[in-house]
C-alpha cells in the first residue's frame, strides 16, 4: 500500500494487513527532520509505538511491525537538481539494509497466529452455505 505520507497511515490499515495474513508489516517513512508534510513521520512513529503495544497485548508481538526512515524530499524540493544528487549517494545501501533487516526478521518469525489455515478455511467460516436446490418447488 502506498500513501502520500506515512502520517496518514491509520492503525486499521496495519491491523488489516495482519488480519489478512501478513507475518510482518514494514513501513518506510521520511526522516523526521526532512518530512515533506512536516509532522507526518513523527505522527507515524507515535502510531507505531501504540500499534506495537496492541500487537504485544494480543499476543502477536510488536516485533512484527518495522519502521524505517529514508531521506525525505522537503529539503531537496528547493534545491537545483545537480545539488540533490550529491545529498543521498548512499540511498541504495540504505534500501539494501532495510531489505536485509526485513528478510532477517521474517526468517526469525513464526507464522502469523491470527491467520491460521488456508484461504479456503477462512472462506468456509465467513460464508454461509446456501441451498440452491429446487426441491421446494416440485409438486
- DSSP characters over the chain: ---S-GGG--HHHHHHHHHTT-S-EEEEEE-GGG-TTSSHHHHHHHHHHHHHHHHHHTTS-GGGEEEEEE--STTGGGS-HHHHHHH-TTHHHHHHHHHHHHHHHHHHSPP-TTS-S-HHHHHHHHS-------GGG--
pLDDT band (50, 70, 90) for residue 120 = very low
Pairing type for strands 65-70 and 25-30 reads parallel
Indicate the pLDDT class of residue 34, thresholds 50, 70 and 90.
Answer: confident
Task: Sketch the domain layout of the chain as residue ranges.
Answer: 23-74
Mean pLDDT of 55-65: 94
Between 41 and 121, where is the model more confident? 41
Question: Which residue, 107, 37, 44, is CA-closest to 74?
Answer: 37
pTM: 0.69
Amino acid at each position: 500500500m502506498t500513501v502520500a505520507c506515512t502520517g496518514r497511515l491509520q492503525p486499521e490499515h496495519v491491523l488489516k494487513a495482519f488480519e489478512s495474513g501478513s507475518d510482518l508489516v514494514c513501513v518506510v517513512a521520511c526522516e523526521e527532520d526532512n518530512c515533506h508534510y512536516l509532522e507526518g513521520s513523527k505522527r507515524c512513529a507515535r502510531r507505531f509505538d501504540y500499534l506495537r503495544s496492541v500487537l504485544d497485548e494480543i499476543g502477536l508481538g510488536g516485533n512484527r511491525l518495522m519502521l524505517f526512515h529514508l531521506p525525505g524530499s522537503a529539503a531537496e524540493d528547493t534545491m537545483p537538481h545537480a545539488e540533490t544528487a550529491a545529498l543521498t549517494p548512499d540511498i541504495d545501501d540504505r534500501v539494501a539494509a532495510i531489505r536485509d533487516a526485513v528478510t532477517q526478521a521474517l526468517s526469525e518469525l513464526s507464522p502469523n497466529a491470527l491467520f491460521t489455515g488456508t484461504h479456503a478455511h477462512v472462506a468456509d467460516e465467513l460464508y454461509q452455505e446456501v441451498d440452491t436446490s429446487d426441491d421446494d418447488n416440485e409438486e
